Amino acid sequence: MKYISEYRDRTLCENLSEKIKRSHRKPINLMEVCGTHTMSIARNGIRQILPETINLISGPGCPVCVTSQYEIDQFIELANQKDVIVTTFGDLMRVPGSRSSLQKERANGADVRVVYSTLDCLAIAQKNPAKEVVFLGVGFETTAPTIAAAILAAENKNLKNFSVISAHKIVPPALVALMENAQVNVDGFICPGHVSVIIGAQAYAPIAEKYHVPCVVTGFEPADILQGLFMLVEQFENDEAKVEIAYRRTVTWEGNRRAMQILDQVFESVNAEWRGLGVIAGSGLKIRDEFSEFDALRKFALDVPYAADPPGCACGEILAGTKNPFQCQLFGKSCTPETPVGPCMVSSEGTCAAYFRYRARDIEL
């Protein structure tokens, strides 16, 4: 496969790591806000080849993890409606709500199906005209345009039995919320590669400027991440705060305009609650009125009480970067990938799952 093996080359990565060590002097806290970065950093042992004074913090980068308990409860309630087929990406299945999970509801007879793409949902809706097919829309700007495209396709096909519950979230407002949070100490952002494919690197310019924080858009192979870290360290040492791209083979300054246009056509921004971060202004996506027939929240009157996060679970603080997984009293004890309490342990991109699986050696209790 082109441009995978090259960016995993060991000698190249060692050279990049040396370059970082040579340019680095001041202690620095760098936060990644993408679950795939979290996993790649853990899997490739990136922490182990960096000086101890470069502290990599995992932020709110896993879309399943930042989904609020209330939203999970709504999904479960939907799965229990009569004549409803709930469709979802696989990583939501095991996330515990207040009383159950989608997986448990499926075991109890609910029709919950894991799909690879919203195109699959449309096919299910066409095959099951007597049922309502609902897609659980979770994800950031990478995913939201694909859901918007499905809604537009459903409208074109005059498909009346397809709808979406939109729990999508958008990334830049979360970065603002983190910078406004006095508990959070971030000197630079490793910006998400594939969210940035859509929104373009320019989306971070106001944040870099207002908070004087370097932002580098980074790819997912070890060399991409190391190159991004080098660029962040260089900026920090030079007291700069620019937006730069370390993933130029697919990320541009402007982003994917077609995807953004489709996203804006179908969704409008609203305030949204993030697990651990609270309500963030303008960080959610609601289906616009003209597409209300595809909005599951308007089709179904769901009666779901507001729910708090599970007791003892530190997922909220872990998502805000104020705690690492080893500082959670449940981590590795009552909370493991087999028996997850919180979403950070459930999702394959969750910070706790990454730490549990790869046991970052340099994190002290």
Partner 1 sequence: MCLAVPMKVIEIDGNRAKVEMGGTMRVVGLDIIDPLPKVGDYVIVHAGFVINIIDEAEAQTILHDFAVLFGDDDEVHF
Contact 17, 50 (CB under 8 A): yes
Q: Shortest distance, CB of residue 233 to partner 1, whole angstroms?
A: 15
Confirm or reject binding of residue 32 to partner 1 (CB under 8 A).
no
DSSP state of 351: H
Alpha carbons 189 and 350: distance in angstroms, whole number: 18
Confirm or reject binding of residue 127 to partner 1 (CB under 8 A).
no
Q: Which two tokens stand for residue 240?
A: 């700069």
Quickly count: other Cβ atoms within 10 Å of residue 33's Cβ: 27
Confirm or reject binding of residue 59 to partner 1 (CB under 8 A).
no
Confirm or reject binding of residue 259 to partner 1 (CB under 8 A).
yes
Q: Shortest distance, CB of residue 138 to partner 1, whole angstroms?
A: 7
Nearest Cα to Cα of residue 28 among 52, 7, 63, 5: 52
Q: Which two tokens stand for residue 33?
A: 């806000």
Of residues 340-359, those binding partner 1 (CB under 8 A): 347-349
Q: Identify the burial level of 353 via C-beta atoms within 10 angstroms of its C-beta, where 0-12 means exposed, 13-18 middle and 19 or more buried.
A: buried
Q: Which residue of 93, 153, 184, 302 would you call a contact of partner 1, by CB under 8 A?
A: 153
Q: Shortest distance, CB of residue 150 to partner 1, whole angstroms?
A: 8
Q: Which is nearer to partner 1, 3 or 306 (CB)?
A: 3
Alpha carbons 11 and 248: distance in angstroms, whole number: 21
Q: Which is nearer to partner 1, 78 or 260 (CB)?
A: 260
Q: Shortest distance, CB of residue 143 to partner 1, whole angstroms?
A: 5
Q: Describe the crossing of helices 222-237 and 35-43 by its angle, rounded to 10 degrees.
A: 100
Confirm or reject binding of residue 265 to partner 1 (CB under 8 A).
no
Alpha carbons 322 and 57: distance in angstroms, whole number: 9
Query: Measured on CA atoms in the order 324, 325, 328, 329, is the torsion positive or negative?
Result: negative
Of residues 167-226, those binding partner 1 (CB under 8 A): 192-195, 197-198, 223
Q: Which stretch binds partner 1 (CB under 8 A): 28-36, 159-167, 289-297, 302-310?
A: 28-36
Q: Which residue of 41, 124, 149, 243 would you call a contact of partner 1, by CB under 8 A?
A: 149
Confirm or reject binding of residue 140 to partner 1 (CB under 8 A).
yes
Give 203's contacts (C-beta < 8 A, 6+ positions apart): 171, 172, 196, 255
Q: Which stretch binds partner 1 (CB under 8 A): 45-53, 245-253, 285-293, 354-362?
A: 245-253
CA atoms within 13 A on the CB side of 135: 31
Alpha carbons 343 and 160: distance in angstroms, whole number: 33
Alpha carbons 365 and 300: distance in angstroms, whole number: 46
Q: Which is nearer to partner 1, 32 or 187 (CB)?
A: 32
Confirm or reject binding of residue 295 to partner 1 (CB under 8 A).
no
Confirm or reject binding of residue 133 to partner 1 (CB under 8 A).
no
Q: Shortest distance, CB of residue 194 to partner 1, whole angstroms?
A: 4
Distances in whole angstroms, Cα of residue 268 to Cα of each of 77, 119, 159, 207, 352 = 25, 22, 22, 21, 32
Q: Shortest distance, CB of residue 117 to partner 1, whole angstroms?
A: 2
- Residue 227 φ/ψ, nearest 5 degrees: -65, -45
Q: Which residue of 32, 71, 91, 132 would you call a contact of partner 1, by CB under 8 A?
A: 91
Which residues is 133 bridged to in the sheet? 85, 162
Which residues is 273 bridged to in the sheet? 279
Q: Which residue of 52, 99, 109, 116 would you call a contact of partner 1, by CB under 8 A?
A: 116
Confirm or reject binding of residue 126 to partner 1 (CB under 8 A).
no
Q: Shortest distance, CB of residue 322 to partner 1, whole angstroms?
A: 23
Q: Shortest distance, CB of residue 168 to partner 1, whole angstroms?
A: 12
Footprint of partner 1 on this chain (CB under 8 A)?
Answer: 1-6, 9, 11-12, 15-16, 19, 34-36, 61-64, 89, 91, 116-120, 138-140, 142-143, 145-146, 148-149, 152-153, 192-195, 197-198, 223, 227, 248-251, 256-259, 262, 347-349
